[in-house]
Structure 1
Amino acid sequence: MKYSVIIPVYKNAQSIPRLIIALTEINQRLNNEMEAVFVVDGSPDASFSMLQAELPNLPFTAQLLAHARNFGSFPAIRTGLMAATGQYFGVMAADLQEPPELLISFFEALSAGECDVAIGTRNARQDPFASRMASSVFWGLYRKLVVHDMPPGGVDIFGCNLIFRDQLLKLEESRSSLIALIFWLGFRRKFVSYDRQVRQEGKSAWTFKKKVEYMMDSVFAFTDYPIRLLIRMGTIGSLVSLAIGLMVVIAKISGAIAVPGYAATMIVVLLLGTLNLLGLGLVGDYAWRAYENTKQRPLAVVSMQLDNRERKQP
């Protein structure tokens, strides 16, 4: 197969009939050169049994994998990428909130050699107001703290070629962010915009708790911002406490402070408090450097290599 579509499945039993219709249409537009890789991520509903029953009758090549329990959507995508046999790969949401036509745009750009990874960026989303606001805050913090190149609407789906897929699978990190790893790898990118559709069946499993966990994993795996914040607070606090301490000493000498021991107590509290922040930041910086080495990410990633060793014999 030339094209592989990876579909993580979790609590999507109601949308499976519509999903199969959409995949059939995509396969036809791709000249029947598509395979679908369904990865059921420990779903408690009937998603696996429904797909298992439909598998022999599908009008396109398909694989069905099942996780032993719910590991999360990103591990499910990795499982699908490992099992896929195509030359170009695309990730598709089983709830169909991302339009299936987006995959066609991904594959056209990838097969034409325009990019190594195609990334879907949301222009707008038809979700409830509270969900839109929470998503806006989430991705705003993500851009600020983790990946500065992240589109304002965030990223849920992407497509890539074989070279990018192989490099991505080499990064075997737990408690990390697949989306952040995509940006960390670099390569040639193309952003494809789309409007997120209204969810027609079921309820999203992307809960507030999972969003917080995802944000924490992304922050601690990709940025030392909290550590640098401690260092800055400690440095600024030390300077401020020095100035205040000087004012307290002057006030004590001039007789403005009559309470015994007040000046010494203020100076000690201010100085030690800010030095603690600075010390924590410095220790944290060394811990971060050690943690970075344990990830064993490559120091550089080669996306292309050419040579002229094949020369004509005289």
Structure 2
Amino acid sequence: MPASSPQKSESAITYSIVIPVYKNEESLPDVIERIEQMQSRLDAPLEAVFVVDGSPDGSLNTLRNLLPKSTFNSQLLAHSRNFGSFPAIKTGFKSARGQYIAAMAADLQEPSELIEDFFAQLKTGEWDVAVGIREGREDPLISRTLSKFYWSTYRKFVQPHMPPGGVDIFATTRAVADKLGALNESNSSLIGLLFWLGYRRIEIPYTRQERTHGKSAWSMRKKISYLLDSVFSFTSMPITAILGLGLTGSILSIVAAFAVFVSWLLGSVPVPGYTALMLVLLFSAGSILFAIGILGTYVWRTYENTKNRPSSILMSTEVFNDESV
């Protein structure tokens, strides 16, 4: 039955795993099995926080049937619609009751053993954030190539401390999770915010595994949206590019004007003013439209943040096998 989660201050749970769910119905039995195995190896109570992000399949009902039979504490949260995996992770982090909280994908492409490594490192007290670093990935060649290009560009122009292959899986202490959940930026990158926060961070290598169930919902449209969110939310580089383009355009315009003027003096221009007019119109129009597009993106994001809308809407909360209080 739907219920409110216990207060975090009263919780005896040490570890929490947040799993966003969208079109993962087929893989959920395997996810639960892996979490049960993980619980048997950990030295303290574990809870799993499943956040069903408006999934159109039977993921919600599947979890309602499976979680009461599981051997670990769990919460089942449901968004009112699909908001995206990052808002789902933030929802889970806000509801999680553990002292150490990890985000885990439901497609099992990241090894679940990595979560245990995260918790072990965080529990030493020397680190506040643990992130998984992909040393290899069993993905198609085109996906690996595009990913490598994207992250290398991102590291060069946006966040130099980002790992070469990006971050898909991570864990934090309770203090960092609370700080991350308090950041209410719209159209931003959760990983970007995590690195923006700072704290003591450790990187743990792993090899990404091949997806065995279903098809990824990470479409090209979502990837492009994530790229734009990651860039425009954390760097002024596009504005700097506009300044450079404007300066370059001004210099080229002066050179072109001088060349046209000399040609006119020598009588080499059959239609007076035509060449100069076309050069000015084409170059100026292109530069202006490009600049307006960049500035418009920043204005739109500022407008979105002034609305103060939450990044997601929680529709229901259910708690199973609760032994935390």
In the superposition, the TM-score normalised over structure 1's length comes to 0.84
Moved over 6 A (4+): 281-286, 288-293
Corresponding letter in the other structure for 2:134 = R
Structure 1 residue 96: deviation in Å?
A: 1.0
Long gaps (5+) in structure 2: 1-12, 309-325
SS of match in other structure, 2:51: strand
1:241, distance to aligned residue in structure 2 (A): 1.4
Distance in 1 between the 2:218 and 2:304 partners?
A: 28
Rounded to whole Å, the distance in 1 between the matches of 2:213 and 2:293 is: 47
Which residue of 2 is the match for residue 310 of structure 1? none
- Judged with a 3 Å threshold, the aligned counterparts in structure 2 of structure 1 residues 274 and 243 are, in CA distance, closer, same or farther, namely farther
Tell me the secondary structure at the aligned position of residue 13 of structure 1: coil
Q: Structure 1: 5+ residue runs without aligned partners?
A: 297-314
Greater mean alpha carbon deviation, residues 160-169 or residues 215-224: 215-224
2:273 to 261, 264, 284: 261
User: In structure 1, which of residues 231, 237, 242 is the aligned counterpart of residue 243 of structure 2?
Assistant: 231
- TM-score normalized by the length of structure 2: 0.81
Describe how 1:52-71 pairs up with structure 2 within 5 A: 52-71=64-83
For residue 114 of structure 1, the aligned residue among 99, 104, 126 is: 126
SS in 2 for 1:147: coil
Secondary structure of the structure 2 residue equivalent to 1:259: coil
Q: Check 1:291–1:102 CA distance in 2 against 1; reply closer, same or farther (3 A cut).
A: same
Q: Is the 8 A contact 2:53 2:85 kept in 1?
A: yes
Q: Which moved more, 1:189-198 or 1:12-21?
A: 12-21
Question: 1:147 pairs with 151, 159, 162, which one?
Answer: 159
One-letter code aligned to 1:102: L
**Aligned equivalent of 2:3:** none
2:168 is the counterpart of 1:156: yes
Equivalence map 1:81-96=2 (5 Å): 81-96=93-108
Q: CA deviation at 1:158?
A: 0.5
Query: C-alpha displacement at 1:93, in angstroms?
Result: 1.1
Instruction: Give the Cα–Cα distance (whole angstroms) in 1 for the partners of residues 22 and 291 of structure 2.
Output: 45
Aligned partners of 2:256 and 2:276 also within 8 Å: no
Is contact 1:90–1:159 with CA below 8 Å preserved after alignment? yes
The size of the alignment, in residue pairs, is: 296
Letter in 2 for 1:165: A
Q: Which amino acid in structure 2 is aligned with residue 54 of structure 1? A: L
Tell me the residue number matched to 1:170.
182
Percent identity at matched positions?
Answer: 51
Q: Tell me the CA shift for residue 11 of structure 1.
A: 1.2
Q: 1:273 to 1:234 in 2, by over 3 A?
A: farther
User: What value does the CA root-mean-square deviation take over the aligned residues?
Assistant: 2.9
Q: Which amino acid aligns with 1:25?
A: Q
1:201-212 map, 5 Å? 201-212=213-224
Following superposition of structure 1 onto structure 2, how do residues 2-81 of structure 1 map, counting pairs within 5 Å? 2-81=14-93
